[in-house]
Structures are given as structure tokens and as C-alpha cells.
Amino acid sequence: MAEHGRDVAPLPPLGSGRLRAGPVRAQRPLYVDLLPPCNNACPAGENIQAWLGDAKAGRHEAAWRQLTLDNPFPAIHGRVCYHPCESSCNRAAFDGAVSIHAVERFLGDLAIEQGWTFTPPAVSTGHAVLVVGSGPSGLSAAYHLARRGHRVVVRDNGQLPGGMMRYGIPSYRLPRDILDAEIARVAALGVTFEQEHRVEDLQAELTEGGFDAAFVAVGAHLSKRVDIPNADAGRILDAVTFLRGVEAGDAQSDLGRVAVYGGGNTAMDAARVARRMGADDTVIVYRRTREQMPAHADEAQDAEEEGIRINWLRTIASMDDAALTVEIQELDERGKPHGTGRFETLEADTVILALGQESDTAFLSSMPGVGFDGDVVQVDPQSLMTGAPGVFAGGDAVPSERTVTIGVGHGKRAARSIDAWIQAGMPALAPPDERSKHRVVNAQDLHLWYFGDHRQREQIQLEPLTRVAAFDEVVAGLGEDEARFEAGRCFSCGNCFECDGCLGSCPEDAVIKLGPGRRYRFDLDRCTGCGTCARQCPVHAIDLIPEGGPA
């Protein structure tokens, strides 16, 4: 399997030794490795097709090690990633996307069960990097930097590492023993964690600690507020503080009837947690429609299954002792909501605001050269370096969609850039070593007659009434047989998996089989360029190119 869809090194043509030119042809076949859509869509840059191939063959540890070359947290991501890889999967329109996240979770859980660890670097570089923030982006950067041999110190103001994965994602989605196990594996590489350490003067910490570079990965912990007329401040909570309090065990339990104001994933989490905390009734108030909500559709569906009502096209106008006045909204011709002057009363004892979060990046304001756009730091989009030499930033601290997987991808990219910066002697940043990419293979490129109809394996979920009684994990994982079956559903888009179709279809016996794992080559003395091999290849691992084209 070629990494990230790169070309296999070309083999010289197999000649017959006869003193003649090959057949006259206008085109000839060429084995290629193209870019699978899942690989292309993964924000963490995983070589998904490669580790699925190992998982299909039962090489579970090899699959885990291939996966963790890019992403050190498969057990976490198999639970909380919104898997854009599956949205891009060519199998989705055939009989359902490959359940990539479920196989990833299986590998991650198996690694924890078996005690697999990362291989430490052979030598130390003697350089040190400060990482500010122990959320997904900071942890990812720490991992990749440590594997490159750098000394890494992570400083974070939370009591325990994990950032918003610990203090923002409820335990029914991400069990804390899973989170702790995957963080412990990073610590075992030699990464030092200094928790309850608030960084206020970055330049001073760099100088005093002898650090060669810094990566700023502070999460979006500051909730946006809104003024509500007649509001009793004691009855209004912000979602981040509420979720953090539940995690810390000091959240209030006498919530009464709860109204959550917002339509993102945090709003869904806050509502579902309030339900588990014993709220008498929980309703979400959102000013737009279901189709316009930023929350993932599955999150809203899960909330509704658990008895949470969602009032679409409503805004909170004011509060009384035990009720809200909400204004009904309508969409204009541009799809934007506006007030109608019509109002409704909604019973509520507690309001939880989930209107978005901001990053606490104010401590960077004194760093010369660092630019801002609101709460986020301006960085070079490729290297992630700020305007201050040697200071990099990623995750929620920079302009991007705020997800765990994007944060992990930023950490990997920043680690590569920081390593280049350090190894270049620090006067200038070396350009990152970007892998060349071929075009993405789409469903129209494939010959799906080869594949049978094999439906996706479903993950069992707790019944809604059972869910809301506790914080037990809602979604179960796959067993070994199910995970291997699911991995086997991968089409291997754009990359040869040695089905022997080209070998059997060639009328001139011009395809030479090289043995397991070595694929095939063409005898161009025999090949007439008829194209039969390419037309039957189920995964488009053969291109037809004009005679005289690239070898």
C-alpha cells in the first residue's frame, strides 16, 4: 500500500530480449497509486486506506502503528470525531460508507487493552519546545515533537490534561479512562506535563525555560454572553462553565426546568448533561432552523431521543421568575432569521447559554509581531508560525473549524514546522516537507461490479431511558470479527489490492504477477494497448497514457 497515494517507484519494462520494437500502440497501461477520498478528507492526515488494509488482514498492531504515525489518539477519535472521511467515502452511495471511526476505535481500545506503547526516539536533539495548552492540538504537537527527539514541556491551567476533551466533552461520549490511557502513552515518551500553570508572559517563560520554540494551543474556554432583560444572574449559566463543573463534581444539581440557548454541539451536550443531572425538563431554544444549526445532525437526534425538545426559530426576549419570553423568528429571502413581534412563554428555572466560545489568547498580546483577528491568532496557513519568530499556534487559537480532529492535525503540522525551524538553526523557517498528492479517486472512476453488497456493521447504543439515568458510555464498540469485516468493506480506491483481474483479462499475457505484496508489471513487448486491464480494474489502479508518456 503506498503512503498517501504516492506513486510506486516505476519498474523497468520487462523485455523479451528479441531485437524488435514492441507492438504498435497509441496508448499503454501504467500502474498508479491515486489518493483515496478518505485520506484526502481526514483533518489529521491519516493514511486510512493503509491501516484499514492491515486491519482487514488481522494485523491489528501494524494497523495501530500505521494509524498513530499521524494521530496518536485512535480510541479518542473513534468516539468523538465527526468522521468527514466517511462523508467522502466512495462506498457511501453503494451500500453505506465504511465505518472508519468504528474500526479506529476498535484498534485504539485494543491497544489500551494490550498495553501497546510508542517507540521512543533513538537519540535526543538537545532542543526544547514549550507547548501551551494540553488539549488535542497541544497533545498532538507534543507527541510528534517528542518522537522527533525534542524535549517537550506542556503547560496548562487545568487540573488534569485533556483540555476541552476532558472539560467540554461529556463522559458518556468520551470515558475518562480512555482519555487518560491515551494521554499517559504520550507522557511515557518523556513529555512533561505541568498542570495548573497559567502562562501569562510567554516570552519570559521561553527565556527562563531555555526553550527553542513554542506552540500555543489554548482551547476556546471563554463563553460568549448575551444580555437578557430582567435576567436573574443566579439563574444563568454558561455552557462551558456548566460542563466543567460537572466534570469537576461541583455543578449545581437543583436545575429545575432548563432552557439551553444555542444550536451547536456544545448546546446539545449541555442539554443532555442537564437531563442526566436531574433537570425536570430540558428544552433547547435556537433562532434558526434544523437545517441551519451548526450542531452535527446526530447530536440533535440523540438529544431528541433522550426527551429534549428543540424550539426552532425562537430567541429569548426576556426572563421572569420562572419563565422565558421568546420571540418567534422567520427567515427572510436570504435565509436569515428576523423577529416577527409574536411572543411565547416558556417555563424555565435555569438558562444555560451555549452561544459559542472564544480562545483566551490575551497573554500573547505583548509578544512583538503576533497579530490577531478577534480572539484568534494570525498564522501562516502552511507553517502555523505567528508573526513572532519561533512562536507557532494551532487548534482553537487560530482561524479554523473547532474540532478535535482539526486540532490534532494542526499539532502534527506545527510539530513538523517547529522541527524544521529548529533544525535549520533558527534563522529562518525551512518550508515544510509536503507530500505530493495525486488527484482524488471518485466513485465514477471505479468499477463496482466487482464488489458485493455488504452492509455496514452497526454499533449498539443504550436505550434512551437507560442513557439519561447515568453517564455510562452510550455507543458500544465493534468486536474483532465485526471490525475485520468492516475494514474489509474498503474499496481500496485508487490503489491495487492484487485481485488478479488485470492478470486474467489480458489477451496477450502481458501482465506479470510479481508475488504477494509486490503487485504486477507489464511486459511492454507483448502489450498492444488494448486497455482491457484498465477497463476491468475495480479500483482504478491502472491508467492508460499516450505512448511515449511517463514511465
Q: Could you report the per-residue pLDDT of 142-191, keeping only the tens digit for each? A: 999 999 999 999 999 999 999 999 999 999 999 999 999 999 999 999 99
For 168-290, strand residue ranges (E) read 192-194, 213-216, 222-223, 236-238, 257-261, 281-285
pTM of the entire predicted model: 0.88
**Mean pLDDT value across the chain:** 89
List pLDDT tens digits, range 58-108: 999 999 999 999 999 999 999 999 999 999 999 998 889 999 999 999 999
Residue 86 burial (CB < 10 Å; 0-12/13-18/19+)?
Answer: buried
- Report which secondary-structure segment, H or E, holds 342: strand 337-347
List pLDDT tens digits, range 21-50: 556 788 999 999 999 999 999 999 999 999
Tell me the percentage of the chain whose pLDDT exceeds 90. 72
pLDDT at 407 over 90: yes
pLDDT at 453 over 90: no
For 450, other C-beta atoms within 10 Å of its C-beta total 13
pLDDT at 530 over 70: yes
Contact criterion met (CB below 8 Å) for 38 and 491 = no
pLDDT at 206 over 90: yes
For 396, other C-beta atoms within 10 Å of its C-beta total 30
According to the 3-state scheme, what is the secondary structure of 464-526?
A: HHHHCCCCCCCECCCCHHHHHHHHHCCCCCCCCCCCCHHHHHCCCCCEEECCCCCCEEECCCC
Residue 19 has a pLDDT of 34
pLDDT at 17 over 50: no
Total residue length of the chain: 551
CA separation, residue 517 to residues 1, 60, 177, 193 (Å):
8, 18, 38, 42
**Residue indicated by cell numbers 441551519:** 292
Residues ≥6 apart with Cβ < 8 Å to 203: 366, 367
Q: Which three cell numbers stand for residue 23?
A: 507492438
Smallest CA-to-CA distance from 191 within 161, 167, 170, 232 is with: 161
Higher-pLDDT residue of 366 and 258 is 258
What average pLDDT does the segment 186-203 reach?
A: 95
List pLDDT tens digits, range 218-276: 987 666 777 777 666 658 888 999 999 999 888 777 899 999 999 999 999 999 999 99
Please, where are the H alpha helices in 69-156?
74-80, 84-88, 100-114, 136-147
Q: Which three cell numbers stand for residue 465?
A: 431511558
What average pLDDT does the segment 276-296 reach?
A: 93
Strands 357-358 and 376-377: unpaired
Q: Give the domains, in start order, of the chain with CATH numbers.
A: 1-34+494-551 (3.30.70.20), 37-116+446-488 (1.10.1060.10), 128-221+359-423 (3.50.50.60), 223-356 (3.50.50.60)
Angle between helices 239-248 and 265-276 (to 10 degrees): 40
Q: What are phi and psi of 238, to 5 degrees?
A: -100, 150
- Please, what is the end-to-end C-alpha distance for the chain in angstroms? 20
Residue 396 has a pLDDT of 84
Contact criterion met (CB below 8 Å) for 265 and 292 = no
**Residue indicated by cell numbers 447515568:** 470
Q: Which three cell numbers stand for residue 51?
A: 491501516
